Amino acid sequence: MASQSVFLAVPEPVQAKASTALRVAIVGFGTVGSSVARILSDGGFPGLELTHVFNRNVDRKRASWVSPSVQWTQDFNEVLESDVEVLVEVVGGLEPARSWLKAALQAGKSVVTANKQLIARYGRELSHIASQNECQLLFGASVAGGVPVITAVENGLSGDQILSVCGILNGTCNYILSKMEEGQSFSDALKQAQALGYAEADPTDDVQGYDTRAKLVILARVALGAELCLEDVPCSAISNVVPVDFEYAHDLGCTIRQVGEAHVTTGHAFATVEPMLVRRDSPLARARGCENVVITRGKFAGSTAFSGPGAGGNATAVAVVSDLVTLSENRSVATVHAAKKFDKAKDCVAPYYLRFIVKDRPGIVASIAAELARFEINVDAVFQKPGYDKSHLPFVITVEACSAAKLAAALREISRSDFLVEAPLMLRIFGQ
C-alpha cells in the first residue's frame, strides 16, 4: 500500500541533437513574443537559439533577462537579411504580417506563426510559397493556444478520416456566457471581461464570432481537408442571448456556449459559428473561463476531445516553441493541406430552440405553431416559466430537427406578428 517508485538508471547516452542550433527571430515582442523569449531563455532547448528580436520602437522593449548576444532591431530588413533560419511571427493582423512572411519564405526562411486571421485567409498561399522555397510554415499556435490540436489531428489522427470538428475556441465568449449563466446581463459580463483583460476594448471579433471563425477555418483545412471561404461561414453573435435563455436551457439539460462547428458529408462541407444549446454533461459545456475544447469525430475511431488553456502568453508560446522544436528536429512537415472537392452545403438540419418575448394575449402559441406547421416544422415542446411580466413575457418552443433555412423563413413570417416585443431568438440544439 505504501507508494514508492524507483528510477532506473539508463546507461545509454542521450541521443545527440543537431550539432548547430536553429537560429530564431521573434517578430513582435508583446505578450506572446516575450513569453517565447522567456521559454527559449530557460535553458531547456539547446537546439534553439534566439538571435534577433524585432519590434517597432524596439528600445522600450529591451529586456535584461534576454541573452546579450540577441540583436534588437526595428528594421525588418535586418532580420530578413540576417542568417536567421526561422521567424516567429506574433505581431498579428493581415498587414504588414502577410508581406513580411511572404518575403521571409521567399528568402527560404521558415515561419512559425500564431496569426489565426492571416492563416485562415492566406494560409494556403503562404504554404505554397514555403513549399516552393523548401522551407516550412507552421501555425500550431493559431488555434486553441496551448492545446496541441493541430499537431494531434495532423499526426496522431492522420490514420482516421475526420468527418466533423467542433469546439469552444474563444475564451472571451466562454467567460461572458459563464457569467450570464450566473445571472449577469451580457453588457455587465462584457464589462467584467474587459476589466479583467479577457476582452478587448472593441470586442467585436470575439462576440460576433469572427475569432472563432478564423480558427474553425484552419481546423476545417487541417482536419477535414475542406478549404472554406472565411466570409461564407455564417456567424451569429452571442449578444442576443439573455439570462432567461439559460434558465430554459437548464430545463432542457443544456447550457449555452459559442460553438464553432464544421462537418463534411458525401460531397458537401458545412460550417457555422453560433451560440448553441449544448448538453450540460458534454465536454463543450464543461469548458471553464478561458479554456478551449476541440472535439473531432472520425469515421473509424469516433470522438476524441482535446482541452486546455486556449489563450495567454505562455500557452500560446508553448505552441510556438513546439513548432520550433519540430523544425529543429528537421522533420519535413507537409505544409500544403490537400483540399478535397466539396460542394457548399445548402442547409443545416438540426433541432432548434426558439425563444419569444411577447405582450401576452390568448392564442399566441397557436398562432406560432400554425406558422411553423405551414413550413412543415414540428413543435417538440413548449416551455413557459411563471413569474414574468405579461407585457414582456418570455417563452420557449423547441422544434424537432428541421431545415435551418426553412425555420428562419418561418420566423421571418412570425416576426411580423404584433404580439412580439422583440425579434425571436433561434439557437441550434447541438447533437452529441
**Window 260-279: residues binding its own copies (CB under 8 A):** 262, 268-272, 274
Nearer to its own copies, 1 or 195 (CB): 1
Q: Least distance to its own copies from the beta carbon of 12, Å? A: 6
Nearer to its own copies, 339 or 420 (CB): 339
> Which listed range, 98-106, 169-177, 188-196, 233-241, lies at the site for its own copies (CB under 8 A)?
233-241
Residue 392's SS3 state is helix
- Render the burial of 199-216: b for 16+ CB within 10 Å, e for the rest: beeebebbbbbbbbbbbb
Site string for its own copies, 19-48 (x = CB under 8 A): ----------------x---x--x-xx---
**Window 1-20: residues binding its own copies (CB under 8 A):** 1-10, 12, 14-15
250 belongs to the binding site for its own copies (CB under 8 A)? no
DSSP state letter for 8: P
Query: Looking at 146, 167, 171, 275, which residue binds its own copies (CB under 8 A)?
Result: 146
Query: Looking at 99, 303, 391, 432, which residue binds its own copies (CB under 8 A)?
Result: 303
Closest by CA position to 23, among listed 68, 71, 76? 71
Name the active-site residue from 215, 299, 341, 385: 215
Nearer to its own copies, 8 or 201 (CB): 8
Nearer to its own copies, 1 or 366 (CB): 1
231 φ/ψ angles, rounded to the nearest 5 degrees: -70, -20
Nearer to its own copies, 76 or 211 (CB): 211
315 belongs to the binding site for its own copies (CB under 8 A)? yes
Nearer to its own copies, 11 or 362 (CB): 11
Which stretch of DSSP H or E encloses residue 358? Answer: strand 349-358
**Window 116-145: residues binding its own copies (CB under 8 A):** 124, 128, 131, 140, 145
Query: Looking at 59, 83, 343, 389, which residue binds its own copies (CB under 8 A)?
Result: 343
390 is catalytic: no
Residue 12's SS3 state is coil
Q: Least distance to its own copies from the beta carbon of 72, Å? A: 23
Query: Looking at 308, 351, 359, 384, which residue binds its own copies (CB under 8 A)?
Result: 308
**Window 51-110: residues binding its own copies (CB under 8 A):** none
Residue 236's SS3 state is coil
318 belongs to the binding site for its own copies (CB under 8 A)? yes
Spatial CB neighbours of 113, under 8 Å, sequence gap ≥ 6? 88, 89, 90, 97, 101, 119, 137, 138, 139, 141, 142
Cα angle 99, 102, 108 (rounded to 5 degrees) comes to 145
Site string for its own copies, 388-427 (x = CB under 8 A): ----------------xx--xx-x--------------x-
DSSP 85-118: -EEEE-S-SSTTHHHHHHHHHHTT-EEEE--HHH
334 belongs to the binding site for its own copies (CB under 8 A)? yes
**Window 165-204: residues binding its own copies (CB under 8 A):** none
DSSP state letter for 235: B
Residue in this structure with the C-alpha cell 523548401, named with its chain if needed: 134
Spatial separation of the C-alpha atoms in residues 78 and 91, rounded to whole Å: 17
148 belongs to the binding site for its own copies (CB under 8 A)? yes
> Which listed range, 94-102, 166-174, 328-336, 380-388, lies at the site for its own copies (CB under 8 A)?
328-336
Long-range pairs, 307-311, Cβ under 8 A, ≥24 = 307/147, 307/283, 308/144, 308/145, 308/146, 308/147, 309/145, 309/146, 309/147, 310/144, 310/145, 310/146, 310/147, 310/168, 310/169, 310/170, 310/171, 311/145, 311/171
348 belongs to the binding site for its own copies (CB under 8 A)? yes
> Which listed range, 51-59, 65-73, 94-102, 150-158, lies at the site for its own copies (CB under 8 A)?
150-158
229 belongs to the binding site for its own copies (CB under 8 A)? yes
Residue 350's SS3 state is strand
Q: Catalytic site residues?
A: 215
